[in-house]
Every structure is written in structure tokens, then in C-alpha cells.
Amino acid sequence: MTIQNNILKVGRTTPRADAYAKVTGKEKYAVDYYDRDFLWAGVKRAGVAHARVKSIDVERAQAISGVLAVLTHRDVHGSNRQGVARKDQPVLAANKVRHCGDAVALVVAQDKSALQKALELITVDYEPLPAVFDPEEALKEGAPFVQEKNPDGNVLLKGTLQSGDAEAAFEECDAIVEASFKVPYQEHAYLETEGGWAILKEDGMLEMVVSTQTPFRDRAEVAEALGLDQKKIRIIVPYCGGAFGGKDGVSVQTFLGLAAIHCPNRPVKIWLSREESFLSSPKRHPCRLHYRLGAKSDGTLYALTASACYDTGPYDHLGGAVMALGLEHAASPYRIPNLRLQAWSVYTNNPIAGPFRGFGVPQVTAAMEQMVDRVAAKLGLSPLEIRLKNAVEEGGKNGLGISLTGSVHLKDCLVKIREHPFWKEKERWKSLAAPFKRRGLGLACVMHGIGYGPIVPDVANAKIELTSEGRFLIFSGVVDMGQGNATTYLQITGSILNQDPIDLELVLPDTERTLPSGSASASRTTFTFGNALIEAAKDLKERILQDSSDLVMAGGKEEMILLPGRIRHLPTGREILLSDLAKTLDDSEKVATGYFSAPVAKEFPTEDHALRLHGIPHAIFSYGAHLACVEVDELTGEVEVKRYLAVSDCGKVINPQIFEQQIQGGIAQGLGYALCEDFIVQNGEVQTKNLTTYTIPTALDVPDFESIAVEFEEPSGPFGLKGAGEIAIDGPLPAIANAVADACGIRLSRFPLTPERVLKALTEKGS
């Protein structure tokens, strides 16, 4: 698929390369394959939160006509373990189930109806075990152990970061505020549920087409879990139908592999139902937070203690790393000299929690940004001025004592808000509220670290090939789950090689063809891969110029310029077609690769190796300031976001349209997190089983958003860019909560701010 446009340029909106195939229905997603003779596979889920598995009876299921295999842990010949940081999750449960969504058996059948019957006929004899559903209870002595072999009981990871002396510093503060918060699960609700297909070929290759953010890591995981040679596994990833972190890691990959091994030479397909997706997929961690913030009378933020307890469910699934990123961001982007930040990631028998756009940061930002407003109110200061006064600055240090060596333009974002009509005319706008409606404005500052942090290698490998037709193939090792990074890669390449998009072709992630480049996550996708791609493109360009110079016996490559499809010798005007040049080159000369390793911080705010390993600290951050303008209905408790302004410091923008997509989409998800997305779990059982009861925002629930980018160059970024994929989701919850407080003077501790909760708070305040 190519873009019908002229030479690509960085900094200009270019229609997305994937748009044409997507609007015509031609794009084939992983779930869109229905090969001849394909088989359906499906999973038997536990349905109980914590129990010993005494026996699994598959006999009746096996007897169903059309059933080819009923598989249990006994049929898994590898480690039967999956997980990224810690391999603590079985592919198929052996002795024990730890949450309702655990997989206990896998069925492969000729059609869906046989599959369904067989799944129903599998019976498991469980001996119920005492379970723990409350993360704070899980930390207490005597709580049942979820991971019985974990040396730290139910603690997956905990950590403390401190500087100065917070306790003593509170004595010197003129105003102190203290509050607790409970933020909920959030379900990714990507519209394409987990799925794909696999086949074990006659030559022993296991090939898989699957919707994932992490093909290379998945390949290693599938190999280890199933006891296969990694070299005999190929994973291909088409465009995903949404992921948002929820497809970071194995979902159906090990099942597909296992099913394919047991039914060789037949394509096997899995596609989770919405209900199964909600039951088994990781969610945003629910979190309990307690904050205490002290300030001087002039508004200087001076002392902070914060604790955050993340409920990670029964398995790691990056729950330690999520907590660590939250811990690192817990003080928001302010210079607070005295702080003590603590966080826990705790095992429970609730659903699995894991990566979700924001990765632990929305939780702490929700708390901290409300605390800033509270302390400002107590001191009689403007919430905007107090943020401006304390905002981190380039060349300075953040609260953790880390020097900010990357670009920092938070203050510019706040100034943009101060100059904006929404802010300047706020009193008039508020006064125009209709009867029984109250209007208010709320601010939030956001920051978001880019990449994996100091230890886990954050690297990418790009590859570009000049084809014999004189076109260019761009091999992308990083998944495009909908963000449009693949288009940005075309734009970067086209810009450097001065080519028309018609002559550029993308190769999407494929472990056989593209090079390992890490996950599509951590706001790194364009930052890290983009840098690698620039290197590859520049290298190939130099080589083409040199080779063409030699070909025409020119005085050097400086006499040559690269044009769409051809090279021109400037002194003579003679032109060589790229296709003609390609004929003279060896295969190895037609390929260039680029490698990039993201910059890491050279200072450490902690000696705790586990925290470093889990990503603390980051070197490069994006920043932003958000303004929500809301209207609260005093009769119904409904909160309507009428206007929303996000000012972002994400460096230079390569494609304004794609940048806006990220900001607008992030705000909308954040708005759902703030107001309506209430994923309810009781005793480990999901109560909001589908999109009927778990409501995500519709077109009527969100306003038009205003997005402004303050475009300052980040020297380490590709064309000056910083990551923009996650930051927008960090702001809406606190900005909206602050706006609700401004509108009607209520502060809630529990989120989302559903009409019921808001009405109750209004009633309590009234009485």
C-alpha cells in the first residue's frame, strides 16, 4: 500500500499509508484469515479465583465428533511458563488456578459448535483455596499466598525513592494537605479481540500470524514455554486492531503454538470472544494511593510523601515495571526538595493487571495533580501559577535529583494555557452555566518517560533495501497497532532519500524478514526505531550516491543528487535510474541497516537494583499541561466535559495529523477512565463482562479536543521528536477531578466520577 502524494517530508501531514486498505476493507488483520480446512481452537477457563486442581476430566470432550485434540498441562512439553520479567504464569494450569481467567485446557475442533460443546464438557475437580482480593489485605501477615514460591509473600515488587527529609520538612511547611485515592481497573477494549492463526509446516516450522505488540519477545516465550527451538518459529504481525499495551506480551500465542503442534499441517485459528477477552486479558492496575503534600506560603512545594499500592493480580505480566514507572512519576514534574515515594505491586486473585497506555503513570498523576490543586486552594494561590512556580526546567534536576539533560518545556505548555481564551475567559464561561448546572476548570501537568530505562537494552534495528525495480523496502521490526508509526517510518525514509511514496514499500514485523527492534510500547516506537531508520537511510543514500558517482566516473558523490526514482549527475545533468543502478549492485550493497540504542540516565536515585532493572530512572521525558472545562448537572450528578485543551511538549512533530490522533485518542481514553469506565470485580469475578456493562466513551461522550504542540527540538530524538503515544492519557482524570472541584466544591476519593458518586457527594455537601 502506498500513499498517493508527492515526495514525503518530515513535519508535514501525510495521509496514512494504511488508510486506503483500511477504508476499503482490504486490510487483512490477524483474525481475518479463514484458510481452507482451518481448525478452531479455544480455551477452557477456570471460573474460580483460587483453587487446587485435583483432576481434569477431558474424556467426554474428546468423544465429541469433530474434536481433534483436548490438551492440558500434560501436553505441554516445555517449561509451561510465560511472563516477561518473571515467568510465573502457566500456559495451562497444572496444580492450581490463581484467577478466574486462568486457562486449564485447550481444545482444537473442526468447527465452532464442536469446540463449544467440548469446552462445556471438560470438567475440573477443584479444591477451593482461601483467596485474597484486596491488595492491602494481601500484604498482611497470614494472607493466603497467591504465588506460593515467591520469597516476598504477595509482594511482586516494592520500592522507595527519597531525597531530602520529607518528615522533617513538613514542619517547615505553611500548608499541608493529605488525601487518599482509589483508581479503578481500566480495560483496553481494543475492538479487535486477541486472535490469530498458526500452522506447523512439514519442515517443522511453526508459523503464526497474530495480533501482538511484541513479536520477537513472543517468539522466545513460545519457544521456552512449549519446548521448541526459537529458530523454528516465525511470527508475523499485520496491523493490529488496537492494542494500547494490552497485547504487550503473550495472549493467545502459546495456545496457537500448542494447538498447531498437535494438529500439524492444518491452520489453527483462535479468536477470543469479547467476554473471554475481558475475563483473561490484563487491565490497567487498580491502585490505592495516599498522598501528603506540604508547601510554603509563597507556593513552593516543599515536602511530599506518597504511597501507591498496585493490585497486579496473580502474575507478573510486567506488573513490577508498571509500578516502577508509577513510582518514578509519583511526584509529577515538580522540583520538590524533600520527598519519600513508596510503591508496591501486589499479587492477588483478581484479574491480571499489566501494561496499558500510561503504564502506571495515570494512577499517580491522578493523585498528585489533585494534591497540587488542594494545596494551592489552601494557600489561596492560582492552580496555574503554583504549577509554573514549581515546574521542572531544562538543565535543572527533578524531584528525584536526576539532572534533566533532555529537552524540558513544561513551562511553555503552562504559558500557552495561560494565554488561551479558555483560561483567559474562564470566569465569563463559568457564569454562563444554565440553571442547575455548575461549570468549572481544572488543570493537570503531565510527564512521561520515554523507553525502557537504564538496564533493559532499548534498541532498534532498521533495514532498508533498494530493489531491482529501483524501489525501496522498509523493514519495520516494530508493530503498528494503530498509532501510525509505520507511516511515520515511510515519511522519515522518503524525506531522507527524497522519494515519492509510490516507490516506498513497508514490510511489517515478521521475525523472518525484519530485524528485532523491541516492543511497540513505552512511547519509544518512533523515537527508537526512527533513529535507527535515519541511520539506515543515510547510509543507503551515501552508498547510492557513491556507487552512482563511480558508475558515471564523476568527480565524487558530491556531484550526485538523489531524486525520486533516479540519480542526477549535477555537472552534466545526466540521470541514472535507480533501477539501472540496482542492476550493477550486489545484493549486499543494496541493503543498509541502522542501529540505535536509546540514551539512558547516568545518575541513579536509588541503590535498589530491582528498581533499576524495572526501569528507574529515565533520561528523556515528554511533558504537557491539560485543561478540562466541565459542566456538572446538580440534579443528576452527570459530568460533561465541554472543552478540553492539551498542550504537549513532545519535541518536534513529524506528522501533525498522526500526532493529533495520538493526543485526541489518549484524551478520550483518559476521559473514559475519569468518568465512565468502571470495570467491576467482586471476589475475583468480573462483573462487567462485556461492552454492555463496561461502557467506553461514544462519540456523544467526548467534545472536540484542542491540541497544541510546543515544538522544541529534542536533540536525541529522530528529527527532534519525543514520544507522544502515552502522555495524553495521564492528564484527563486529574484535570477533570480538579474541574469538578472548581465547579461545585466536591472532592471524591473514588474513581471514575460516575453520576451516582458525584450526586452522592453533592447531596452530602448540601446537607
Partner 1 sequence: MKIFFTLNGKEIEIETPPDRRVVDLLREDLNLTGTKEGCGEGECGVCTILVDGESRLSCLMLSPQLEGRKVTTIEGLASGEKLHPVQEAFVEFGAVQCGFCTPGMILRAVDLLQKNPNPTRLEIRGGISGNLCRCTGYQKIVDAVAAAARKMNQENGGLIY
Q: Given candidates 173, 200, 236, 696, which one binds partner 1 under the rule CB under 8 A?
A: 696
Q: How many residues does the chain have?
A: 767
Please say whether the beta carbons of 50 and 684 come within 8 A: yes
Binding span for partner 1 by CB under 8 A among 54-62, 234-242, 259-267, 460-468: 234-242
Judged by beta carbon, residue 432 or residue 700, the one nearer partner 1 is: 700
Stretch that binds partner 1, among 60-68, 183-191, 563-571, 616-624 (CB under 8 A): 183-191
Q: Restricting to residues 649-668, which ones interact with partner 1 according to CB under 8 A?
A: 657-658, 660-661, 664-668
Of 239 and 596, nearer to partner 1 (C-beta) is 239
- Residues in 469-498 at the binding interface with partner 1, rule: CB under 8 A: 481-484
Determine the Cα–Cα distance for residues 310 and 287; give it in Å rounded to an integer. Answer: 5
Q: Which is nearer to partner 1, 360 or 482 (CB)?
A: 482
* Residue whose CB is less far from partner 1, 453 or 732: 732
Q: Name the minimum Å distance from CB 376 to partner 1.
A: 29
Pick from 88, 102, 192, 218: which binds partner 1 (CB under 8 A)?
192
- Phi/psi region, residue 571 (left: phi>0; alpha: psi -120 to 50; beta: rest), is alpha
The reply on whether position 403 binds partner 1 by CB under 8 A is: no
Residue 555 in grid coordinates: 568527480
523 binds partner 1 (CB under 8 A): no
Which residues contact residue 502 at a Cβ distance below 8 angstroms, ignoring those fewer than 6 apart? Answer: 2, 3, 4
Q: Which helix (H) or strand (E) holds 656?
A: helix 656-675
Are β-strands 268-271 and 287-295 bridged in parallel, bridged antiparallel, or unpaired? unpaired
Question: CB of 24: closest distance to partner 1 in angstroms?
Answer: 6
What are residue 378's phi and psi, to 5 degrees?
-65, -30
Binding residue for partner 1, selected from 15, 144, 337, 516, defined by CB under 8 A: 15
Of the two residues 94 and 691, which places its CB atom closer to partner 1 in the complex?
691
User: Is the CB of 295 or the CB of 658 nearer to partner 1?
Assistant: 658
Whichever of 93 and 279 has its CB closer to partner 1, that residue is 279
For residue 767, give the C-alpha cell. 446537607
Select from 103, 157, 417, 702 the one that contacts partner 1 (CB under 8 A): 702
Which of 65, 588, 682, 698 touches partner 1 (CB under 8 A)?
Answer: 698
Q: Which among 199, 168, 176 has a CA at the least distance from the CA of 265?
A: 199
Shortest distance in whole angstroms from residue 33 CB to partner 1: 8
Cell of 537: 537511510
Residues between 22 and 51 that touch partner 1 (CB under 8 A): 22-29, 32, 34
Query: Which candidate, 188, 198, 185, 192, places its Cα nearest to that of 232?
Result: 198
Longest pairwise C-alpha distance within the chain: 91
If one asks whether residue 704 binds partner 1 (CB under 8 A), the answer comes out as yes
Q: Which stretch binds partner 1 (CB under 8 A): 165-173, 380-388, 580-588, 701-709?
A: 701-709
Q: Name the DSSP class of 258.
A: H
Instruction: Output 34 or 767, the one with its CB closest to partner 1.
Output: 34
Going along 144-281, which residue ranges are E strands?
Answer: 155-163, 175-183, 195-200, 206-210, 233-236, 268-271
Which grid coordinates are listed for 578? 535507480
Q: Which of 691, 708, 750, 755 binds partner 1 (CB under 8 A)?
A: 691
Toward partner 1, which CB reaches closer, 278 or 719? Answer: 278
- Within 200-219, the residues that bind partner 1 by CB under 8 A are none
Residue type, 593: T
Distances (CA, A) of 77 to 57, 258, 360: 20, 9, 35
User: For residues 197 and 108, what is the distance between their CA atoms, to the nearest angstrom?
Assistant: 12
Contact 658, 487 (CB under 8 A): yes
Q: Determine which residue in the list 11, 12, 20, 87 makes contact with partner 1, applying CB under 8 A.
A: 20
Distance CA 38, CA 60 (A): 23
| Interface with partner 1, residue 431, by CB under 8 A | no
Find the binding residues for partner 1 in span 236-295 (CB under 8 A).
Answer: 239-244, 273-274
DSSP string, 37-48: T-EEEEEEE--S
Is 464 within 8 Å of 591 (Cβ atoms)?
Answer: yes
Q: What gap in Å lies between CA 176 and CA 598, rounded to an integer?
A: 39
Q: Are 98 and 150 in contact (CB under 8 A)?
A: no
Q: Does 434 bind partner 1 (CB under 8 A)?
A: no
Report the alpha-carbon distance of residue 86 to residue 89 in Å, rounded. Answer: 8
* Residue 188 in the binding site for partner 1 (CB under 8 A): yes
Footprint on this chain of partner 1 (rule: CB under 8 A): 13, 15-16, 18-20, 22-29, 32, 34, 188-193, 239-244, 273-274, 481-484, 657-658, 660-661, 664-669, 690-692, 696-700, 702, 704-705
